[in-house]
């Protein structure tokens, strides 16, 4: 059966990446963390003291930068590589979180990364998470999920993630950061964060990761079953609806 694209969008620290990774592993699909790509550009600009509003230098940087993912055989994780060097830990730092939304609103950045993401998923068989996957990157994704959660819950999750990496940040600072990012992401002119009309809403405030993964897999199974029935009747190519099962 032809593989599909699974788009998981939503707010920061809702469990998108963890859920997407698990779903990809279960299905044997590729996992693409688009948020990591925007974080990589942010890191690149900060390390070279390139002002975010210096558009000529930002556009030149986009020509020079090379972003890829490498699978860590020990952990099984896909780790982001910036110009051939693994920078997974650095892009998760709070200083990157404080700036990434400002970088992601730059049209040239979005156009460049969206084009790269579309090339990565051209052959289907991918789980991609981010802010605009179901609306801009792959509006034809067969399964679309939009994740949300209460901001305090998201902040506690983010605080725990940072603490594991020995970065201790007050909860109120993380709440402020998340609210700022939510506002920027939702109001930007270029590909704003919004729920696609055919995306299924998933509120993870009171859910464990296993429950989130099962929720997505159930939607995937339903979609694949529908496609198999359509294939049997010869109607698959004529069916263009049902992405948000």
Residue 182 makes CB contacts below 8 A (sequence gap 6+) with 11, 12, 151, 193
CB neighbours of residue 85 within 10 Å? 9
Binding positions for ATP are 10-18
**For 95-111, b where at least 16 C-beta lie within 10 A, e where not — what string?**
ebbebbbbbbbbeebbe
Binding positions are 10-18
CB of 160 closer than 8 Å to CB of 24: no
Residue 53 makes CB contacts below 8 A (sequence gap 6+) with none
User: Could you say which DSSP state residue 134 is in?
Assistant: I
């Amino acid at each position: 059966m032809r593989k599909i694209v699974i788009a998981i969008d939503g707010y920061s620290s809702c469990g998108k990446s963890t859920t997407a990774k698990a779903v990809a592993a279960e299905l044997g699909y590729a996992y693409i963390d688009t948020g990591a790509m925007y974080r990589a550009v942010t890191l690149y600009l900060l390390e070279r003291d390139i002002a975010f509003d210096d558009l000529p230098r930002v556009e030149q940087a986009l020509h020079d930068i090379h972003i890829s993912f490498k699978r860590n055989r020990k952990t099984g994780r896909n780790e982001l590589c910036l110009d051939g060097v693994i920078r997974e830990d650095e892009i998760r730092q709070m200083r990157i979180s404080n700036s990434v939304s400002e970088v992601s609103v730059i049209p040239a950045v979005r156009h460049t990364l969206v084009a790269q993401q579309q090339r990565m998923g051209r052959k289907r068989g991918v789980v991609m998470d981010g802010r605009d996957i179901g609306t801009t990157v792959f509006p034809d994704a067969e399964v679309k999920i939009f994740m949300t959660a209460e901001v305090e819950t998201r902040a506690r999750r983010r605080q725990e993630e940072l603490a594991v990496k020995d970065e201790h940040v007050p909860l109120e600072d993380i709440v402020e950061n998340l609210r700022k990012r939510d506002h920027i992401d939702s109001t930007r002119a270029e590909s704003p964060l919004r729920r696609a009309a055919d995306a299924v809403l998933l509120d993870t405030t009171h859910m464990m990761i296993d429950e989130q993964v099962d929720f997505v897999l159930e939607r995937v199974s339903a979609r694949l079953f529908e496609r198999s029935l359509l294939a049997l009747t010869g109607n698959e190519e004529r069916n263009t609806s049902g992405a948000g099962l």
